[in-house]
Amino acid sequence: MEKSIAKSAWLMLVVVIVAVTAYEIKLRNDGLAVSYDDSPALWTDKRNNVYGSKQDQVVFIGSSRIKYDLDIATWKSMTGIEAVQLACVGSTPLPILKDLAADQNFAGRLVIDVTEPLFFSSAPFFYERPNNNLKYFHDHTIAQDASFELHRALESQLVLLDEENLSMNAQLGLLPFMVPQLQNRPGVMGPPVFPMEFARTTFDRQTYMTANFLADTAQVGIVKSIWAGLAKMPSPPPMNDAQILAFLQDVKKNTDQIKARGGQIIFVRTPSSGPFRDMERMGFARERYWDQLLKVTGCAGIHFEDDAATKGLVCPEFSHLSIEDARIYTKAFVNSLSKHPDWNVRSEKLLTKI
């Protein structure tokens, strides 16, 4: 009896190993590389790194554009400085700005990416992800830290551990696209489901589109249609001038707190193009929003349309750069950043190597 149980156990182990290995090989043959889950645990791992010297690191907050558009390898090759990526996709950076402002131990250099429809919004949905990340950061336990380190070790080796795309829940979320009978009822909307290869994430929390995605017009079209659908959703009426000023005064309180401790802040407007950019111009005129943001806060800003090297960059799906253009953008961004007082991040020694 015991021998029979042992044989069954060994057979099951062999079957599992063969199945897992075959699945991993298939995923890699499909062109997929390891992608880390952009979870609160990974965000917290980066949030713990904001306390280095201003000479050794720069912290980035914002929405998904800075996660795509800042190519961290290019940044490091030009500066030798760590990029602490704390931006959250589909979110406003304001909760994270407020948290850093309240953190008496943070007095570093902070880059704030501005995506106007998210930044200048009070919609609860846009606050959900950063608030969840912050709650995990402030409440996480030693056991959760140990679990993160174990998962990180496994995740770094196996494509199939992509929970955001390959877990059972993620796969079930794709069923409405494959089975017409499972489409949402009229008037019912779920969260958008993006193609898996649209968003792959490195351990540094940089996000990128794969070459397969960029070559597939159908996949690119899906993302474009998602943006078009979101643009048609009901939204609050635009803020009047008094409301904009009150909003910006609240931002200023947070930026002033960081600057009072010796920190440095600069705002950045990353690229968008096509109909998305047209929509942003209509709803968020630069002189009313971006220009006023810099004026009220007294902070410097870098706008992609002010630089000949970046104003012509085209986003494949109108809102984020390909990894090749992210490298171009990052080089231009480093050069622009270094023109501002106290922001010289260029390393002439390293520049000779790129």
> In this predicted model, what pLDDT tens digit does every residue of 167-212 receive, in sequence order?
656 555 555 554 444 555 555 455 677 888 899 999 999 999 999 9
User: What average pLDDT does the structure give for the chain?
Assistant: 87
Q: Which residue ranges make up each domain of the chain?
A: 52-139+188-351
Please tell me the total number of residues recorded for the chain in this structure.
354
Question: Rounded CA gap, 251 and 15, in Å?
Answer: 57
At 75 the pLDDT is 96
pLDDT at 26 over 90: no
Q: Helices 72-79 and 323-337, interaxial angle, to 10°?
A: 40
Question: Rounded CA gap, 330 and 67, in Å?
Answer: 11
Q: What is the dihedral of CA 126, 129, 131, 134, to 10 degrees?
A: -150
Residue whose tokens read 């106007």:
116
At 343 the pLDDT is 87
Task: Select the more confidently predicted residue: 347 or 224.
Answer: 224
Question: Rounded CA gap, 61 and 123, in Å?
Answer: 18
> In this predicted model, what pLDDT tens digit does every residue of 229-278 receive, in sequence order?
877 776 777 889 999 999 999 999 999 999 999 999 999 999 999 999 99
Question: Rounded CA gap, 111 and 134, in Å?
Answer: 18
Across 274-303, average pLDDT: 95
At 214 the pLDDT is 95
Assign domain 52-139+188-351 to its CATH superfamily. SGNH hydrolase (3.40.50.1110)
| Least confident range of 4-18, 40-54, 308-322 | 4-18
CA angle 215, 229, 67 (to 5 degrees): 55
At 210 the pLDDT is 94
Question: Rounded CA gap, 321 and 327, in Å?
Answer: 9
pLDDT at 22 over 70: yes
> In this predicted model, what pLDDT tens digit does every residue of 100-153 receive, in sequence order?
999 999 999 999 999 999 999 988 989 999 999 999 999 999 998 898 888 888
pLDDT at 8 over 80: no
At 100 the pLDDT is 98
Residue 18, CB-side half-sphere exposure with 13 Å CA sphere: 6
Bridge partners (DSSP) of residue 269 are: 303
pLDDT at 3 over 70: no
Task: Select the more confidently predicted residue: 5 or 281.
Answer: 281
At 315 the pLDDT is 97
Reported as a pLDDT band with limits 50, 70 and 90, residue 93 is very high
